[in-house]
Structure 1
Amino acid sequence: MSVTASYISPWRDSDIVALGELADGFFERELTEHRQRWEQQHYVDRDVWIKAGALGLLCCSIPEEYGGGGGTFAHDLAVVEAQARALDTGFGNSVHSGIVAHYILAYGTEDQRRRWLPGMATGHTIAAVAMTEPGAGSDLKNIKTTAVRDGDHYVINGAKTFISNGSQADLVVVVAKTDPTGGAKGISLLVVETTDCPGFTRGRILDKVGQHGADTSELSFQNVRVPVANLLGGVEGRGFGQLMTQLAQERLLIGVTAVTTMEAAVSETVQYTKSRNAFGQSIFDFQNTKFTLAECHTVTSAARVFIDSCIERHLRGHLDATTAAMAKWWLTEQQCQVIDRCVQLFGGYGYMREYPIARMYADARVQKIYGGSNEVMKDLVAPSL
């Protein structure tokens, strides 16, 4: 919870607040209490997804006719914030509900929506998106994975890495080139249903610096045959535009997580420094501590107002790619800086993973990398100047 208790985000109403409180309780029971197991096995058990679906915490903004909650994207964000307050980075719902579900909703045919979205909303179908490759990260135009038309199927060949939900995904939206010579216009999105899928193999779950409970995997496609009906939207060559349009929402999700985690870090540090004594007084009472926390609190409060402005614009359909890029790079930079300063106030305990601040520190670093590196974000902002 933010230490600024008097401020209420303008996009919240009573329904969104209630959903956030429901999600808080769920994440405490299902994620926080089992964190050690999730971190040891590097993924969250499948039954957590099904329980989340039963409570209506998945695909909150997908219309009811497709099995979703029928809310707005603000409802999805209430769940994302609750997960960040729980300091959990293992449960891959942001990718599942916030990204993949919206690819299918925005670009899928009516048949595709009815085939895939209901299972995602119940948690029986776990979804992933496969963009990054060993040789192509933020530069999506340079992907090497191909999808060659062969009668009523596409034949996919390629390798993907750093794929969230990869080891468990039943449905993978694969970014591939249907026209290898077409540049960005040759990119398409194909949906691979992984059950009984010859040629599809999952590599290792990757061992990361932080986010130990998150399922981040390597995927391989060797002559994987996918029905033409699984081409998202039914038209080749639209994948790059689809990705660019949806990436603004992905960057908003990253920014929301950054701000909520900053708020948690400041609150945690205020409590700790007031409870621990040194040299005859609480650590909080030292001028350096008070000044540091005042600065962190100010930055966090400014970050909250910025992200709330972005959320309101997005809910009205007005969040542009430039503003989303600004939010992504600046908020994740502030997240890492604020948490680093909070760690320092914990002293040696700040480096122990049994303390939440240490996990926040390790988990935050990748926020500046995925979703488009912060250097690329600045490059996207510069042309608007």
Structure 2
Amino acid sequence: MSMHHPSVAALEKAMGDADQHDGPFRPGSLAELDEREAFPAAAIRALDDFGLARHYVPTRYGGLLDDHSELLQLLRAVARRDLTVAVAHAKTFLGGACAWVAGNTAQAAALGADIQRGAVAAWGLTERHHGSDLLAGELSATRAKSGAGAGAESGSGWVLDGEKWLINNATRGDLISVLARTDPAGGPRGFSLFLVDKRTLPEGSYSHRPKILTHGIRGADISGIAFHAAPVPDDALIGDIGDGIETVLKALQLTRTVAVGLSLGAADHALSLATGFAEGRNLYGRRLTDLPRVRRILGEISATIFLAEATAQVSARSPHALTAEMSVVSAVTKAAVPTLAQDAIDRLTELMGTRGFLSRTYAEGQYAKLERDHRIVAIFDGSTAVNRNALIDQFARLARAYRRGRWNETGLAEAVDTGQELTAFDPARQRLLSGDGCSLVQSLPDAAQKIAGLADRGLLPLQVSRMADELTTVADRLHEDMAALRRTPRDVPPTAFHLAERYELVYAGTAALRLWLHNAPVADAAAGPQLWRNGLWLAAALAAALTRLGVPVDASHAAAYDRVADRLLEAPTGTLSLLSTDSTDDLAWSTS
């Protein structure tokens, strides 16, 4: 059984081939660039040569993107090598996403062709004094007057004035999707989106702001751009006038979901390095990995990564299968996965001790670099707090839908069954708010019943069924608390964010349940990959979710961690994946 895409294996091979003869992905070379805060141009060229950018462009516009879970796994593969490289290259997908959501056919096809020829795109949303408050943006777009600007003869075109700041690839990018104020009064209908081609702008009509010195992803082009009466043609407008905020929110439903592949890759990398360290480190005459406490920790961390991986896998199929629910799915995923990955990295850092902080002493400083780099993932495309606030806005809807006990069964089956062919993504089906709630979470009681049936037939351990029931009990109470919450748009109590965090964990646990139910070879408990046999990874992931939800996990539950640790220490890469065919052949990559 494998959920891997052939393109991921091809990319791994291409990056490995590029590393021959001191290639661009060699850790020492990347560490040196990081110290100099230099852009990893050679590694980016290697990804260009592979054709990674073709996977940023939907197939209907000539590219290869027809499965967002495939793109997530491609970004995960790059992030396992180096997070700075992944962030720098993937920004082109973010820069083009608004065109895929709201651009007309000619506009999107032209952009798709440009990206596949090597054009780099950026996304200009944030401003120096307003951060994530997009409705406060000051950069303006006004109609060009006769005698000035693009299309001056007919008075057509627009003029951009203002600055966008803390923008990835603002300087190196060829194109930038810019959110601009088109109504001086602002408001939700006061902003529009423009795809600006910097290569066509007159000299002096724009200038770059200096690269910002950052704690992590030091080599990335995090800078800014200012427009000085910059003329752009009418066909630069993406969608209709006043649709800018809506288009951005719909594009974020895609980018937030795919971007968590960066967190999965960072967690893979961290676990591999820490496992290698623990296996080679002696303490009191024994290897660290011979100590029961260390093995338990490695099992717990692996289980945390399973939980994040299950969440990401189901969510990345949801743009196709549960399109109208993506306002919930994307917010939950972007808050949950980087949080779980950072928790795993933090615990691994404790295990590494001083080796986790030294720049060149262990593994050429790879661990210290990834630990710094990953912290940015939780911030971009909306911080964890911003995403939780977006979820809180839909609490009442989610509570009502859960009480009704209904869900989109067809769409959910497509999202969780990795053997099913995906429906083509249709942006016309996107909604700013989910009228159907969250099918995955609403199906939890049904999933728990199915797990109980398998346990009664001896096809799963009873402990897995007990944990599924415990998760359902938590979810029932959680939705009662969500329904009882009282708030105003400007007054969100701290308890609401706590409830949002709990909802993320319920979503993650349910994703694990559904992923196992729809993909495990349950007819024979001894069949299939070792991690899937007898619900091993599922038991560990549920234990990780319940622990975070404050539910005590007894010794029989925790024993799953130890069995997972055994599988981990057998794995040649020092990490595990639910998507692999076998625990001894989990990820085709190496950190050496």
Same fold (TM over 0.5): yes
Residue pair 1:166, 1:215 contacting (<8 A) in 2 also: yes
Per the alignment, residue 386 of structure 2 pairs with: 376
Per the alignment, residue 357 of structure 1 pairs with: 367
Selected match of 1:96 from 76, 92, 109: 92
Tell me the distance in 2 between the aligned counterparts of 1:306 and 1:63: 23
Matched, 1:144 2:148: no
Deviation at 1:70, TM superposition (A): 5.6
Selected match of 1:343 from 333, 349, 356: 349
Deviation at 1:249, TM superposition (A): 1.4
Tell me the distance in 1 between the aligned counterparts of 2:45 and 2:369: 26
Residue pair 2:211, 2:224 contacting (<8 A) in 1 also: yes
Tell me the distance in 2 between the aligned counterparts of 1:119 and 1:357: 36
Higher relative contact order (CA 8 A, sep 6+): 1
Per the alignment, residue 540 of structure 2 pairs with: none
Tell me the distance in 1 between the aligned counterparts of 2:242 and 2:327: 21
Distance 1:20 1:373, change over 3 A: same
Tell me the distance in 2 between the aligned counterparts of 1:94 and 1:115: 19
Matched, 1:84 2:79: yes
User: RMSD of aligned C-alpha atoms?
Assistant: 2.3
Per the alignment, residue 47 of structure 2 pairs with: 52
Per the alignment, residue 73 of structure 1 pairs with: 68
Deviation at 1:282, TM superposition (A): 1.2
Distance 1:300 1:42, change over 3 A: same
Per the alignment, residue 250 of structure 2 pairs with: 245
Tell me the distance in 2 between the aligned counterparts of 1:200 and 1:223: 8
Residue pair 1:35, 1:213 contacting (<8 A) in 2 also: no
Deviation at 1:381, TM superposition (A): 1.4
Deviation at 1:168, TM superposition (A): 0.7
Deviation at 1:74, TM superposition (A): 3.5
**SS of alignment partner, residue 160 of structure 1:** strand
Q: For residues 272-308 of structure 1, what are the alpha-carbon distances to aligned partners after superposition, in whole Å with 9 as ceiling and x for unaligned?
A: 1011112211122334322322211111111111111
Selected match of 1:135 from 129, 150, 174: 129
Residue pair 1:94, 1:253 contacting (<8 A) in 2 also: no
Deviation at 1:50, TM superposition (A): 5.3
Deviation at 1:155, TM superposition (A): 1.3
Residue pair 2:356, 2:368 contacting (<8 A) in 1 also: yes
Q: For residues 82-109 of structure 1, what are the alpha-carbon distances to aligned partners after superposition, in whole Å with 9 as ceiling and x for unaligned?
A: 1111123235222202x22332233222
Tell me the distance in 1 between the aligned counterparts of 2:156 and 2:45: 33
Q: For residues 220-273 of structure 1, what are the alpha-carbon distances to aligned partners after superposition, in whole Å with 9 as ceiling and x for unaligned?
A: 11211111221113x211111110001011111232211232122122211210
Matched, 1:180 2:184: yes
Amino acid corresponding to residue 83 of structure 2 in structure 1: D
Flag the structure with higher strand content. 1
Aligned counterparts, 1:233-272, within 5 A: 233=239, 235-272=240-277
Selected match of 2:16 from 11, 25, 28: 25
**SS of alignment partner, residue 205 of structure 1:** coil
Range moving further from structure 2, 173-182 or 54-63: 54-63
Per the alignment, residue 197 of structure 2 pairs with: 193
Per the alignment, residue 122 of structure 1 pairs with: 117
Structure 2: tracts of 5 or more residues without a match: 145-154, 396-592
Distance 1:21 1:317, change over 3 A: farther
Per the alignment, residue 3 of structure 1 pairs with: none
Matched, 1:321 2:331: no
Deviation at 1:149, TM superposition (A): 0.8
Residue pair 1:54, 1:122 contacting (<8 A) in 2 also: no
Deviation at 1:42, TM superposition (A): 3.2
Distance 1:201 1:323, change over 3 A: same
**SS of alignment partner, residue 229 of structure 2:** strand
Deviation at 1:211, TM superposition (A): 0.7
Amino acid corresponding to residue 21 of structure 1 in structure 2: E
Q: 4+ residue stretches of structure 1 with deviation over 6 A?
A: none
Deviation at 1:75, TM superposition (A): 3.7
Distance 1:60 1:254, change over 3 A: closer
**SS of alignment partner, residue 167 of structure 1:** coil
Distance 1:70 1:245, change over 3 A: closer
Q: For residues 15-58 of structure 1, what are the alpha-carbon distances to aligned partners after superposition, in whole Å with 9 as ceiling and x for unaligned?
A: 3443443454367443446414543253232x755553442211
Deviation at 1:204, TM superposition (A): 0.8
**SS of alignment partner, residue 42 of structure 1:** coil
Specify the structure having the higher radius of gyration (Cα).
Answer: 2
Deviation at 1:67, TM superposition (A): 4.5
Matched, 1:225 2:219: no
Q: For residues 175-198 of structure 1, what are the alpha-carbon distances to aligned partners after superposition, in whole Å with 9 as ceiling and x for unaligned?
A: 101112141101111122112533
Residue pair 1:19, 1:78 contacting (<8 A) in 2 also: no
Deviation at 1:133, TM superposition (A): 0.4
State how many pairs are aligned.
372
Distance 1:96 1:38, change over 3 A: farther
Q: For residues 318-343 of structure 1, what are the alpha-carbon distances to aligned partners after superposition, in whole Å with 9 as ceiling and x for unaligned?
A: 35111211111121112222111111
Give the TM-score of the pair, scaled to structure 1: 0.89
Tell me the distance in 1 between the aligned counterparts of 2:377 and 2:293: 28
Tell me the distance in 1 between the aligned counterparts of 2:195 and 2:51: 24
**SS of alignment partner, residue 350 of structure 2:** helix
Distance 1:67 1:230, change over 3 A: same
Per the alignment, residue 564 of structure 2 pairs with: none
Matched, 1:42 2:46: no
Matched, 1:297 2:302: yes
Selected match of 2:340 from 320, 334, 358: 334
Tell me the distance in 1 between the aligned counterparts of 2:300 and 2:115: 42
Give the TM-score of the pair, scaled to structure 2: 0.59
Distance 1:189 1:94, change over 3 A: same
Residue pair 1:204, 1:218 contacting (<8 A) in 2 also: yes
Deviation at 1:366, TM superposition (A): 1.7
